[in-house]
Amino acid sequence: MTLFPTYQRNDLRPVEGQGAWLWDEAGKKYLDFTSGLGVCNLGHAHPKVKEVVQEQLDRLWHVSNLFQIPLQEEVSEELARVSGLSLAFFCNSGAEANEAAIKLARRYGREGKGLAQPEIVTFHSSFHGRTLATLTATGQTKVKEGFAPLPEGFRQLPYNDVFALEAGLTETTAAVLLEPIQGEGGVHPADPSFLRRLEELCREREILLMVDEIQTGMGRTGSLFAFQEAGIQPDVLTLAKGLGNGIPVGAMLGRTGLETHFGPGSHGSTFGGNPVAMAAAQAVLREWTETDLPVQVQETARQLTALLHERVAQSPFVREVRGRGWMWGVELDRSVAPLLSHLRDRGLLASLAGPCVLRLLPPLVTEVAELEWAVAQIEEALVQLEEVGRDESVSRI
């Protein structure tokens, strides 16, 4: 064995992807409702992204941030127009984007608020990454086991609890970091009223509002960013996953004024914002700003929502169907692992968001007929689960 066994992989070996579909080495076809864990929002091998990346590969791959990279300026301007945030730092992943946000928050707390020990508030069941700082920010014990001592300066509050929020923000709080929908934590959307009250408290107390849209961003919830649906405006926004549609790229965006706390030498990345990654990000953004994709995504998402509630939520094994847009969790009253295996046998790929939650993250370009077929597979698998449960054991699926 040459790889650390850090992933619990199944034996599927994809070798080709096109749109919402994957093929394994035996030629079997699968409808991919994982999107590479919310990455390939525009589908596999998207033609426009492929075209611009191939063109960039013929010109220049990498020069480092010792030099001007004009594409960074262009992408940052396009992100500013769609996000309302005028500053950008580019990196390679979601964890790196959140690391940058954490460092910025600490600098802001010390220099902007005069705090000797600035604190960042996050939430129970959240997920922000697997570096030491981001796993400490994460509100799940399982990702922290065995990695002590962990960095200080983080505290978790209950998610969607306004009373706990009002009591939990203190004079030492420099920033609040949250996901508008908790993905790894079980696909739990934040209540819009909770987000609006959080924004009010942050403005009143000069606390940075930092929104982690690593998974929800770039159209996953139906809007380009999930925070827009609640009518709030963050001070800091972190992005990755769908920003490059499979080309590794992350970004931390910030409001004007925060540049005073993140000057030369305060942070950096050798590969962050290289020309290839920026070409991919620009192509993805232009699909959103220069085509009718947003209208298509919202209309098809409404149909997906209806299908899940009409045909899946009625199963006696389903406790709840929750989510928004193209990001859904189906919570069962038992382990979801047998259902996942059964769906894969039928040609549908999905993932977990906890032991009892089936997570559905289809590419945003999935067609209605494909969505209908996928929901039919889930519905039929649940019926078979019920039949087997009556006769013998759930494990027979």
Is-catalytic flag, 90? no
Q: Amino acid letter at 318?
A: V
378 is in an annotated binding site: no
213 is in an annotated binding site: yes
Is-catalytic flag, 127? yes
269 is in an annotated binding site: yes
Active-site position among 90, 154, 212, 317: 212
Q: Amino acid letter at 191?
A: D
95 is in an annotated binding site: yes
Give the separation between CA 303 and CA 313, rounded to whole angstroms. Answer: 15
Active-site position among 127, 225, 227, 317: 127
Q: Is the dihedral of CA 377, 242, 17, 291 positive or negative?
A: positive
310 is in an annotated binding site: no
333 is in an annotated binding site: no
Active-site position among 89, 90, 227, 241: 241
273 is in an annotated binding site: no
270 is in an annotated binding site: yes
Is-catalytic flag, 48? no
Q: Residue 208: name the closest of 255, 263, 168, 163 by CA.
A: 255
| Binding-site sequence positions | 94-95, 127, 130, 212-215, 269-270
* Catalytic annotation, residues: 127, 212, 241
Q: Which residues are annotated as a binding site for N(2)-acetyl-L-ornithine?
A: 130, 269
Binding residues for pyridoxal 5'-phosphate: 94-95, 127, 212-215, 270
